[in-house]
Amino acid sequence: MIVLALLAAASFQDIPALDRGVAAFTGRPIGEEGGARAPVDSRLRLASCPMVSMAWRTDAHDAVVVTCTGPEWRVFVPVVMPARTTIISAPAAAPAAARNAEKVIKRGDPLTIEAGSDGF
């Protein structure tokens, strides 16, 4: 019974090894700026890969793409981006009409949201 469990575990990719690989690729630990936002989901059952490759998803370095070519799978690991510096001015008083306007969308209302661009 134990042998079967070990054989089954051996057929899946070592997820903590992916986390270590992403940390080495980014040069930052999980949760720190420039590092993975969170560990790779340990519930994933990826086929074991003898050699994974890693690359940045875009030039913005917003995610690491972990790829296996045989068996074929790919995982995107989001990266903690640096906080943007924003100059905040004193808030302007909202017009009286906007403050007293009836809310059009209420909690629990069904919504359909549509987004589109070349990236979607």
Contact 25, 54 (CB under 8 A): yes
Higher pLDDT pick, 6 / 56? 56
**Interval 83-95: pLDDT, tens:** 876 666 655 656 6
In DSSP terms, 54 is beta-bridged to 66
Contact 79, 34 (CB under 8 A): yes
Which amino acid type is present at position 36? Answer: A
Residue 92 has what pLDDT? 60
Q: What is the pTM of this model?
A: 0.63
Q: How far apart are CA 111 and CA 82, in angstroms?
A: 32
Both tokens of 78, joined, read 């989001």
Which amino acid type is present at position 15? Answer: I
Alpha helices in 70-109 (DSSP H): 96-99
